[in-house]
């Protein structure tokens, strides 16, 4: 075997036996690096006489280029092998069951809003909306509460500084959902049948009051809507909401500036060992305010009071949720305590509907 044949077989073997890229680089340096064996032979050609050089140079150059080809090939093989090994080791079994993680839940207030909306939707009420930051006019004036009216004091109003130049009277964080009556009536006119669930704000804080809480306002205006309709709608609502056969309501004469006559409504119930039962017993629990919409309110919205009349009501949502789900302290609603939410929360995909049961 000539020395060139030996060089060829030795170095090709070293290349083909390299197990990884580092070993391959080592083999390349030993053959073709500056101090590599083949490089030395190539350099030696310069000192040879022309006859000998003519014989060796083509063979050495061919060896060099063959070796370079072999190194490139081996390199590709090694990269592919490494990739195959990686794919093999990182395999994911998509048929494995999921790992249980903490699951989000629906807040009892959201759940209650969904339930209330489902019940009223079933009775033909649409949903109306309005802004949390209200004008003084929508929150008070249009609801028959002029600037000097004593009812304004009861609202513990948060005022909002206006950034759009000076306003005659500052905007407010809405203190109740009744301004949405005004917005819905001015936008849609009569006849109308809507509820408006949402956040309201009053500067107050104790076990049963938080500065932000939730109400749902109801409004039904048509040619012949009466207190009798109001009574039926509210009884129907209570029966559906508390998921009982019978709900008995008691209407107590009251006063709200935006209704005439006005009534506060109590629900017959019993409290036994801290547990509430609706529809029986000797207790009465106040659950809402209501009445026939005051003509001044209708007129503020451009409604002809010779033709149209109707009722309105306002219910505290947080209180409904506390009663139905046995939650003792209102402030817990807004503490974002995960354990509390896990305990009182609802499954996200169980959307309340009358046909499938409101709360499961």
Binding site for ligand DAH (CB under 6 A): 176, 178, 217, 256, 259, 289-291, 312-314
- Give whichever of 157 and 259 is closer to ligand DAH, judged by the CB atom: 259
- Give whichever of 192 and 341 is closer to ligand DAH, judged by the CB atom: 192
- In the bound complex, what is the minimum distance in angstroms from residue 175's beta carbon to ligand DAH? 7
- Give whichever of 25 and 235 is closer to ligand DAH, judged by the CB atom: 235
- Give whichever of 259 and 309 is closer to ligand DAH, judged by the CB atom: 259
d(CA 262, CA 279): 23
- Give whichever of 258 and 346 is closer to ligand DAH, judged by the CB atom: 258
d(CA 356, CA 337): 30
- In the bound complex, what is the minimum distance in angstroms from residue 101's beta carbon to ligand DAH? 41
- Give whichever of 313 and 346 is closer to ligand DAH, judged by the CB atom: 313
- Give whichever of 291 and 352 is closer to ligand DAH, judged by the CB atom: 291
Tokens representing 293 are 């919409």
Count H helices, E strands: the chain? 12, 11
d(CA 27, CA 206): 81
- In the bound complex, what is the minimum distance in angstroms from residue 154's beta carbon to ligand DAH? 8
Cis peptide upstream of residue 191 (ω within 30 degrees of 0): yes
Q: How large is the greatest C-alpha to C-alpha distance in the chain, in angstroms? A: 128
Beta strand 171-173 with 133-134: parallel, antiparallel or unpaired? antiparallel
- In sequence order, which residues have a C-beta less than 8 Å from that of residue 150 and are 6 or more positions away? none
Q: How far apart are the first and last CA of the chain?
A: 90
- In the bound complex, what is the minimum distance in angstroms from residue 124's beta carbon to ligand DAH? 18
Helix, strand, coil content of the chain in percent (nearest 5): 45, 20, 35
d(CA 160, CA 137): 14
Q: What residue number has its CB nearest to ligand DAH?
A: 314
Decide: 140 and 178 in contact? Cβ < 8 Å: no
- DSSP label of 107: -
- Give the length of the chain: 360
- In the bound complex, what is the minimum distance in angstroms from residue 178's beta carbon to ligand DAH? 4
- Give whichever of 79 and 187 is closer to ligand DAH, judged by the CB atom: 187
- In the bound complex, what is the minimum distance in angstroms from residue 289's beta carbon to ligand DAH? 3
- In the bound complex, what is the minimum distance in angstroms from residue 219's beta carbon to ligand DAH? 7
C-alpha angle 336/339/340, rounded to 5°? 60
- In the bound complex, what is the minimum distance in angstroms from residue 349's beta carbon to ligand DAH? 33
């Amino acid at each position: 075997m000539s020395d060139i044949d030996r060089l060829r077989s030795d170095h090709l073997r070293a290349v083909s036996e390299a197990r990884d890229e580092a070993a391959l680089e080592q083999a390349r340096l030993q053959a073709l690096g500056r101090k590599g064996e083949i490089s030395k032979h190539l350099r030696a050609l310069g000192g040879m006489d022309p006859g000998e050089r003519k014989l060796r140079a083509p063979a050495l150059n061919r060896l060099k280029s063959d070796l370079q080809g072999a190194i490139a090939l081996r390199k590709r093989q090694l990269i592919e092998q490494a990739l195959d090994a990686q794919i093999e080791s990182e395999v994911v079994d998509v048929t494995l069951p999921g790992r249980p993680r903490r699951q989000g839940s629906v807040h009892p207030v959201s759940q209650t809003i969904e339930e209330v909306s489902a019940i009223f939707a079933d009775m033909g009420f649409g949903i109306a909306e309005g802004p949390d930051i209200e004008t003084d006019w929508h929150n008070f004036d249009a609801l028959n509460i002029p600037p000097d009216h004593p009812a304004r004091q009861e609202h513990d109003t948060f005022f909002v500084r206006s950034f759009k130049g000076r306003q005659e009277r500052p905007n407010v964080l809405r203190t109740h959902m009744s301004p949405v009556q005004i917005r819905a009536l001015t936008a849609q006119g009569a006849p109308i049948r809507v509820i408006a669930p949402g956040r309201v704000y009053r500067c107050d804080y104790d076990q049963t009051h938080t500065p932000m809480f939730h109400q749902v306002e109801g409004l039904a205006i048509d040619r012949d809507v009466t207190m009798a309709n109001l009574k039926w709608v509210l009884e129907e609502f209570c029966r559906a909401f508390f998921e009982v056969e019978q709900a008995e309501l008691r209407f107590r004469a009251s006063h709200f500036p935006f209704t005439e006559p006005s009534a506060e409504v109590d629900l017959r119930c019993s409290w036994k060992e801290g547990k509430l039962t609706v529809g029986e017993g000797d207790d009465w629990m106040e659950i809402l305010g209501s009445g026939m919409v005051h003509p001044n309110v209708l007129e503020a919205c451009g409604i002809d009071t010779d033709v149209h009349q109707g009722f309105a009501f306002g219910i505290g949502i947080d209180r409904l949720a506390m009663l139905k789900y046995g939650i003792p302290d209102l402030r817990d609603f807004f503490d974002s305590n995960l354990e509390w939410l896990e305990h009182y929360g609802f499954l996200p995909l169980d959307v309340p509907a009358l046909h499938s049961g409101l709360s499961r």
